[in-house]
Amino acid sequence: LAAPQVYAPLRLFVFRVPGERREDDPDDLPLGNTVLINPELELLSDDRVVNWEGCLSIPGLRAGVPRAPRVRYRGVDCDGNVVQREASGFHARVVQHESDHLDGILYTMRMTDFRLFGFNEELQRFSGPPREAGGAT
């Protein structure tokens, strides 16, 4: 959850990586509640991987969104300690998603294939990661 989502004009977000949300990546480890203040984000790949995302700002919908598979981020926690990590999988995706909120970007603005967008109930019949038309993701 990013501060702008609750009408707070701050550059901070709170996130976690639950074990059940991890992707098939040995580096995508669970992480408890984490606060990141004034985050800086570096994408570590020009590649993009499409996977499902939803958002509390747009309830009931989800879409296939391309994101960098690996990132490096840095910020400060609530106690003023520097937080610096490299992340992949779901961890990298959630940090990119929340960082976007700080810049006024919603996941729908990152979409490249609008066929991979719909109501959760309608999309439940699909399984696995979405695939963009015209090639592998």
Structure token pair of residue 74: 């840095």
Please choose, from the candidates 80, 74, 95, the residue with its C-alpha nearest in 3D space to the C-alpha of residue 17.
95
Residue 66 to residue 50: CA distance in whole angstroms = 4
Residue 8 to residue 17: CA distance in whole angstroms = 23
The question of whether 42 is a catalytic residue gets the answer: no
Q: Where are the beta strands (DSSP E) in 1-133?
A: 12-17, 31-43, 49-55, 58-67, 70-76, 82-88, 117-119
Out of 40, 42, 98, 122, the active site residue is 98
Residues annotated as catalytic are 98
